[in-house]
């Protein structure tokens, strides 16, 4: 007699070369070509297509170091276009939400799914269906690893990356030691550089060796987190999914400037822009903020001009997600910390102590609040339809000279009608 098995099943869905895949979506000419995407201000290589990897271009390398290979092989280079990647990420996550109730969006291109409600026999097929659906609906290729714990699903994902099918399930495999033996200890989820050194010193070089170490040893010699990792490698789930019902606690928008900024006016325009972005973000998640932090700093590498870094936190009497109030607070904060005579390189705004805005109506809510909420909603809707910053506040400025250096940007904005691709018929 056989029973249908319903064990715990966690899938890690990871988008392949995510930024490159986003650029390719709107530019079919580069589908089969080597492509790389650069970090802010065109500094380092942060995403590579398979073809670029095959040329030996390394992840995280400064662009100038790889320039020879890039020019010689006609590698397509793109500046990062975060509004495009952010939007595509939301589309992928929305698609994934269709499959189950438990999802943890882990990063811009990764999510854990709880697939425990599917049986052991069908799980691999479910994985394949998820992969096909994401590809069909968003155009983004993914790799999916499925296992009993988060740590093992990361391992499975590692293997899936190299497989044609893109899906690997470790569910139902009795002995996973041969698989774990091939996973280097520093590739195990949660094992950083320090811990790797420590494990190496103690003769642990791969995941199998950590799994088979006695729990007492792991506990005694390192910390609670490492023993959780060891347990997870044994198939005992210790790290729960942080699902969307446990909403985010803070929202940060910060950028490095393409050129140094010195005047109060320019700095103000930048931070007001970040404040607007952050307010829009929390409104879209029905959250309101009670604490606003603004921070500015100069480059730590330009000693000639002196280093300065400061922040100011403002606590509001009542939570809000109203752009006007948030911008007012940010400008107040900036006035306190701004110092003349410095060349600023980075600034940012953080909204924290976030709470559900739907039940933040209080005794002091008035008709005026209602009107402001409606105004915010129309701004968001308009910007969604006609492109970011169609409607904004005057204090955000009009000419943004300090914006990121983005020499090779594809300039695609999925929230902007003007950058829709055009199709020519012959």
Q: Applying CB under 5 A, which residues contact Mg ion? A: 14-15, 18, 109
d(CA 371, CA 88): 32
Min separation Cβ 161 and Mg ion, Å: 9
Shortest spacing between CB 40 and Mg ion, in angstroms: 18
Nearest-approach distance from CB 157 to Mg ion, in angstroms: 9
At CB < 8 A and 24+ separation, what contacts does 105-108 make? Answer: 105/244, 106/12, 108/18
What's the closest the beta carbon of residue 15 comes to Mg ion, in angstroms? Answer: 5
Q: Which is nearer to Mg ion, 95 or 322 (CB)?
A: 95
| Pick 14 or 266: Cβ nearer Mg ion | 14
* Nearer Cβ to Mg ion (58/405): 58
Is residue 339 within 8 A of residue 308, CB to CB? The reply is: yes
How far is residue 167 from each of residues 17, 28, 59, 159, 324, measured CA to CA in Å?
16, 25, 24, 9, 47
Write down the least CB distance from residue 20 to Mg ion, Å.
10
Nearest alpha-carbon partner for 13 in 117, 120, 100, 122: 100
Residue 14 or 42 with smaller CB distance to Mg ion: 14
* Residue with nearest beta carbon to Mg ion: 109
18/112 with CB nearer Mg ion: 18
Structure-token pair, residue 308: 């300065």
Residue 109 or 114: which CB sits closer to Mg ion?
109
Instruction: Return all residues near 153 (Cβ < 8 A) that are at least 6 apart.
Output: 10, 11, 12, 112, 145, 146, 147
Instruction: In angstroms, give the least distance from the CB of 79 to Mg ion.
Output: 19
Q: Is 14 or 104 the residue whose CB approaches Mg ion more closely?
A: 14
In sign, the C-alpha dihedral spanning 45, 46, 48, 53 is: positive
Pairing of strands 76-79, 35-38: parallel
Alpha helix locations (H) across 308-366? 323-337
Rounded CA gap, 132 and 138, in Å?
Answer: 10
Residue 417 CA to residue 330 CA, distance in Å, equals 31
Classify 45 as helix, strand or coil: strand
Find the shortest distance in angstroms from Cβ 109 to Mg ion.
Answer: 4
């Amino acid at each position: 007699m056989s029973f249908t098995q319903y064990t715990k099943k966690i899938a890690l869905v990871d988008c392949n070369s995510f930024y490159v895949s986003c650029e390719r979506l709107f530019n079919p000419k580069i589908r089969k070509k080597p492509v790389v995407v650069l970090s802010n201000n065109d500094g380092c290589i942060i995403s590579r297509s398979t073809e670029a990897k095959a040329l030996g271009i390394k992840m995280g390398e400064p662009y100038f170091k790889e320039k020879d290979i890039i020019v010689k092989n006609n590698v397509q280079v793109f500046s990062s276009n975060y509004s495009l990647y952010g939007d595509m990420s939301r589309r992928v996550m929305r698609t994934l939400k269709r499959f189950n109730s438990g999802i943890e969006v882990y990063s811009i291109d990764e999510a854990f799914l709880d697939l425990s409600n599917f049986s052991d026999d069908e799980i691999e097929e479910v994985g394949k269906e998820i992969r096909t659906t994401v590809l069909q609906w968003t155009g983004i290729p993914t790799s999916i690893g499925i296992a009993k714990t988060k740590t093992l699903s990361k391992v499975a994902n590692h293997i899936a990356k190299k497989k044609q099918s893109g899906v690997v399930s470790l569910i139902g495999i009795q002995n996973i030691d041969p698989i774990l033996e091939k996973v280097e200890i520093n590739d195990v989820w949660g094992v950083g550089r320090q811990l790797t050194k420590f494990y190496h010193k103690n003769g642990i070089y791969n995941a199998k060796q950590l799994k088979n170490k006695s729990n007492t040893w792991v506990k005694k010699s390192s910390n609670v987190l490492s023993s959780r990792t060891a347990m997870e490698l044994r198939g005992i789930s210790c790290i729960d999914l942080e699902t969307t019902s446990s909403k985010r606690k803070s929202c940060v928008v910060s950028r490095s400037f393409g050129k140094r900024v010195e005047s109060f006016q320019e700095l103000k325009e930048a931070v007001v822009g970040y404040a607007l972005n952050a307010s829009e973000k929390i409104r879209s998640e029905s959250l309101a903020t009670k604490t606003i932090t603004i921070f500015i700093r100069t480059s730590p590498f330009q000693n000639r001009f002196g280093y300065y870094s400061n922040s100011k936190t403002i606590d509001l009497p009542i939570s809000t997600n109203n752009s006007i109030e948030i911008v007012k607070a940010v400008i107040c904060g900036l006035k306190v910390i701004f110092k003349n005579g410095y060349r600023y390189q980075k600034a940012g705004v953080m909204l924290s102590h976030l709470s559900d805005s739907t039940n933040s109506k209080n005794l002091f809510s008035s008709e005026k609040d209602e009107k402001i909420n409606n105004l915010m909603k129309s701004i968001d809707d308009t910007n969604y339809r006609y492109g970011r910053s169609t409607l904004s506040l005057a204090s955000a400025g009009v000419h943004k000279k300090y914006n990121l250096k983005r020499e090779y940007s594809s300039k695609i904005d999925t929230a902007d009608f003007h950058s829709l691709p055009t199709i020519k018929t012959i």
